[in-house]
Amino acid sequence: MFVDTVVEDKALHKPAFLIGLSVTVLAIFFALNLTNTIFGEFLSPVIGNPEESGFFGRLAVSFVLTILFVGNLLLISFARLKIQILIVWIELFFLFLAFAYSFDLEIAYIFQNDFICSTESARAKLCTPSKIGLMISKGLFTTIYISAVSIAIATVIAIVGAVAKLSNNGFAYAISSFYTSLFRGLPLLLQIYLIYMGLPQLGFMIDAIPSGIAALSLCYGAYMTEIFRAGIQSIPKGQWEASRALGFKFGLILRKIILPQSIPIIVPPTGNQFIAMLKDSSLVSVLGIWELMFLAKKLGAKDFNHLEMLLTAAMIYWLLTIILEMIQARIESKYKQKT
């Protein structure tokens, strides 16, 4: 975003804004009434028994929380930009942890292993360190495997689809636009069921994992067709003309001139698609594929500890996404240097 070179005073450093903010925050905390929480207990030397502290207790708790909140904002506002971002990130992360902690979960359950490895030596090699170990070694692996294969197939579909969509051939255009319309128009879960249950009715028996990969490839192929089409179209007409003037044929121009130049335009949104697909791959758990989401649900179901396992899966997905975003940023900056 374009940042103007003229610096304005920070809103937080204007007394009027600061007072307005404090009053608003106070009102919100007061309305939420946190007297009977850990905060009330913390202040019990001042307000006495939180249960009986009444209006005064409620106001006191809100007041302290407001001072903490606004003071925190004010302190951060004096830091340099990068430090600011870091601190806010860390604080939000701890808020999220506190949110998860407030569920009153059995965190140890995640790392627990009921299976006794030593009793049956023949099975010892199948022993996993814990539930989280199983989710990573089996679930995460399957999730990445399915997503990677699907994105590769989707890329091929997208190139063919984009070329067809840009061609003058009526059949190619019609088939391609029908395909993108259909697969962008149906929920992914429905596509998974259609392929898994529908195709065998025509005599094409495909297993759960190929069904899942087919559904993901077709769905994301449809979205990526549009990305590739835009990428190809963004190359100036002059490149086609210069290539044509040299006597290059269509396939050669596409392969050697247009696609290499489209890559920097195509890669960032394709990376986004991959990240999105990684998460959407959880939908194939309905087919009984032992990927991350499936294991999270079933492992939690055994001892009725659903939220623990779902939170574990959430953290794994999140971490994975952060790593992928970092890789994507690197690839992007690499292409930026070259062109």
Partner 1 sequence: MKVKLSIKNAVAALSIALFSLSMSAKAGVVYDYIKMDNEILIATDANWAPFSYINDAGEMEGFDVDVGREIAKRMGVEVRFITPDWGVITAGNWNMRWDVSVGSMTPTATRSEVLNFPAVYYYTPASFAVHVDSPVTTLAGLNGKNICTTASSTWEMYLEGNLDMLNAPAFTYKVTPGTITALTDGHTCLDDTRLGAGVRNDGIIDSVPMIQGAIEDGYPIKFLGDPAFYEPLSVATDKGNNDPELDAELARVIAEMQKDYTLTMLSMKWFKNADGSSNDYTIAY
Partner 2 sequence: MANNIKAQTNSEASPIISLKGVSKWYDDFQALKNIDLEVKLKEKIVICGPSGSGKSTLIRCLNRLEAHQEGEIHITGIELHERMKDIDTVRQDIGMVFQSFNLFPHLTVLENCMAGPNWVRGIDEKEAKERAMALLKQVKIPEQADKYPEQLSGGQQQRVAIARSLCMQPKVMLFDEPTSALDPEMVSEVLDTMVELAKSGMTMICVTHEMGFAKQVADRIIFMDEGEIVEQNSPEEFFNNPQNDRTKAFLDQVLT
Interface residues with partner 2 (CB under 8 A) are 236, 238-239, 241-242, 244-249, 252, 256-257, 260-261, 338-339
- Give least dist CB 134 to partner 1, A: 5
The smaller minimum CB distance to partner 1, of residues 113 and 321, is found at 113
CA 91 to centroid of chain Cα atoms: 20
Q: Which segments within the chain are labelled E, that is strand?
A: none
Partner from partner 1, partner 2, none binding residue 58, C-beta < 5-8 Å depending on class: none
The smaller minimum CB distance to partner 2, of residues 205 and 245, is found at 245
The smaller minimum CB distance to partner 1, of residues 257 and 307, is found at 307
CA 31 to centroid of chain Cα atoms: 33
Helix (H, G, I), strand (E, B) or coil at 208: helix
Partner from partner 1, partner 2, none binding residue 298, C-beta < 5-8 Å depending on class: partner 1
The smaller minimum CB distance to partner 2, of residues 63 and 240, is found at 240
- Give least dist CB 169 to partner 2, A: 16
Residue 55 amino acid letter: F
Question: What is the distance between the alpha carbons of residues 88 and 72, in angstroms, rounded to a whole number?
Answer: 10
Partner from partner 2, partner 1, none binding residue 36, C-beta < 5-8 Å depending on class: none
Question: What is the distance between the alpha carbons of residues 265 and 257, in angstroms, rounded to a whole number?
Answer: 14
Question: What is the distance between the alpha carbons of residues 338 and 250, in angstroms, rounded to a whole number?
Answer: 25
Partner from partner 1, partner 2, none binding residue 13, C-beta < 5-8 Å depending on class: none
Categorise residue 91: left if φ over 0, alpha if ψ from -120 to 50, beta otherwise.
alpha
- Percentages helix, strand, coil for the chain (3-state, rounded to 5) are 80, 0, 20
| Total number of residues shown for the chain | 339
- Give least dist CB 241 to partner 2, A: 6
Partner from partner 1, partner 2, none binding residue 166, C-beta < 5-8 Å depending on class: none
Partner from partner 1, partner 2, none binding residue 239, C-beta < 5-8 Å depending on class: partner 2
- Give least dist CB 225 to partner 2, A: 23
C-alpha to C-alpha distances, 255 to 234, 243, 335, nearest whole angstrom = 15, 12, 18
**Binding residues vs partner 1 (CB under 8 A):** 112-115, 117, 123, 126-128, 130-131, 134, 137-138, 196-197, 200-205, 207-208, 286-288, 290, 294-295, 297-299, 301-307
Q: Who's near 95: CB < 8 A, 6+ residues apart?
A: none
